[in-house]
């Protein structure tokens, strides 16, 4: 039998909770609308999108796709934000390709473009994972995450009072050799472009140390570390940065697979940093996916699938619920993002 045909069925008899709606209203602080993420919502009525959010109990949806170009940002603002201004928040981005043409003027130009994006209606800045892995300066040198030349961009975000949601690196296994020891082997076999071995890419911890340095060097700028601070496999490391940097926050998008297999550590992490953790899914306006997240956060269920497919997409393991108390749930679901994004209500 081939591994791809293996479908083990657990014989455990454990409780199964059906949580249709969250205990509190939700701000999904990390998600996407664009076609690059499997959606075609730009060609459909906004009412269809809102129906999915209403079904899942999501009050505000944060769209990070402005980083794919200013045209996309304007398109999403005109289509979604204009139709339902209280239900959508859109983030802008940086066109790194212009650095080669603009040379030393690029950082100042990028900061000016951020101001323009905020004038249009953007409420945050999204930095994509190509930064630290692939972005190069005019001399062809890889740009480190903490490159001091980019200070005008981070300073401008602070002046505008908007958060920077930053995704650098990726799961640690994406940097490991693609061999029989790699726990993400299944996932990477289907997405070889996600594999970042060193060389030619920087080592994982090199990128993470640069991220920490960036956050600490700009204490006036609010940073949100995507995917549990980009290091969900090591909550001790993330906690240490949270302790050192009051301007640092994290979201849980696309990482309940990691949090849920370390439930004791994860529950302690949520209790210790309840004011610094934001809800997010990274899975589009998918009611079924939202319910898995609610089950993870609210129930004490044991050993369940963290995804919506038969075989979990990020690794062949199951997760455990955290059974978080109401005061923490309300902060994670809504209050923390409400504060950082300036959302009323």
Q: What is the pLDDT of residues 55-64, one digit of tens each?
A: 999 999 999 9
Q: What pLDDT sits at residue 339?
A: 98
- Tell me the pLDDT tens digit for each residue of 244-254: 999 999 999 99
- The tokens describing 117, both together, are 């994006």
* pLDDT tens-digit readout, 282-307: 999 999 999 999 999 999 999 999 99
Distance (Å, rounded) from C-alpha 31 to C-alpha 341? Answer: 15
In the chain, domain spans: 25-341
Confidence of residue 195 (pLDDT cuts 50, 70, 90): very high
**Cα 313–chain centre separation:** 17
Task: Provide Rg for the chain, Cα atoms.
Answer: 20
Q: What share of the chain is helix, strand, coil (3-state, %, to 5)?
A: 45, 10, 45
Does 76 have pLDDT greater than 90? yes
Residue 38 has pLDDT above 70, yes or no: no
Average pLDDT, rounded, for the chain: 95
Query: What gap in Å lies between CA 342 and CA 40, rounded to an integer?
Result: 28
Dihedral sign computed on CA atoms, order 331, 323, 287, 5: positive
pTM: 0.96
State the pLDDT confidence band at 69, using cuts at 50, 70 and 90. confident
Which of the listed CATH numbers 1.25.40.340, 3.40.50.300, 3.20.20.150, 3.20.20.140 matches domain 25-341? Answer: 3.20.20.140
Q: Where residue 2 falls among pLDDT bands split at 50, 70, 90? A: confident
Q: Which helix (H) or strand (E) holds 214?
A: helix 204-217
pLDDT of residue 90: 97
Q: Are strands 88-90 and 58-63 parallel, antiparallel or unpaired?
A: parallel
- Please state the φ and ψ torsions of residue 38, each to the nearest 5 degrees: 85, 10
Three-state secondary structure readout of 130-194: CCCCCCECCCCCECCCCCHHHHHHHHHHHHHCCCEEECCCCCHHHHCCCCCCCCCHHHHHHCHHH
């Amino acid at each position: 039998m081939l591994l791809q045909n293996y479908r083990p069925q657990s014989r455990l008899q454990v409780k199964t909770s059906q949580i249709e709606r969250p205990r509190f209203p939700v701000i999904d602080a990390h998600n996407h609308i664009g076609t690059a993420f499997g959606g075609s919502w730009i060609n459909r009525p906004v009412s269809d999108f809102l129906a999915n959010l209403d079904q899942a109990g999501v009050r505000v949806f944060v769209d990070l796709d402005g980083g794919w170009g200013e045209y996309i940002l304007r398109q999403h603002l005109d289509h979604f934000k204009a139709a339902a201004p209280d239900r959508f928040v859109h983030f802008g981005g940086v066109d790194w390709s212009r650095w080669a043409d603009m040379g030393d003027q690029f950082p100042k130009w990028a900061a000016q473009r951020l101001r323009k994006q905020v004038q249009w209606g953007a409420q945050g800045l999204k930095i994509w994972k190509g930064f630290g892995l692939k972005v190069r300066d005019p001399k062809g040198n890889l740009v480190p995450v903490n490159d001091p030349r980019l200070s005008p961009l981070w300073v401008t975000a602070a002046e505008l009072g908007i958060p920077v949601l930053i995704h650098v690196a990726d799961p640690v296994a994406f940097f490991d050799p693609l061999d029989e020891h790699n726990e993400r082997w299944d996932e990477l076999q289907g997405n070889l472009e996600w594999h970042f071995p060193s060389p030619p890419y920087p080592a994982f911890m090199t990128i993470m140390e640069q991220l920490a340095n960036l956050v600490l060097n700009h204490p006036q700028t609010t940073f949100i570390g995507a995917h549990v601070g980009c290091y969900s496999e090591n909550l001790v490391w993330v906690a240490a940065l949270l302790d050192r940097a009051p301007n640092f926050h994290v979201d849980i998008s696309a990482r309940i697979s990691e949090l849920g297999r370390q439930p004791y550590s994860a529950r302690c992490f949520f209790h210790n940093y309840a004011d610094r953790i934001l809800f997010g899914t990274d899975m589009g306006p998918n009611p079924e996916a939202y319910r898995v997240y609610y089950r993870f956060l609210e129930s004490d269920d044991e050993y369940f699938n963290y995804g919506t497919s038969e075989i979990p997409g990020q690794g062949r393991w199951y997760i455990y619920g955290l059974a978080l108390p109401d005061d923490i749930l309300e902060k994670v679901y809504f209050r923390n993002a409400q504060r950082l994004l300036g959302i009323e209500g």
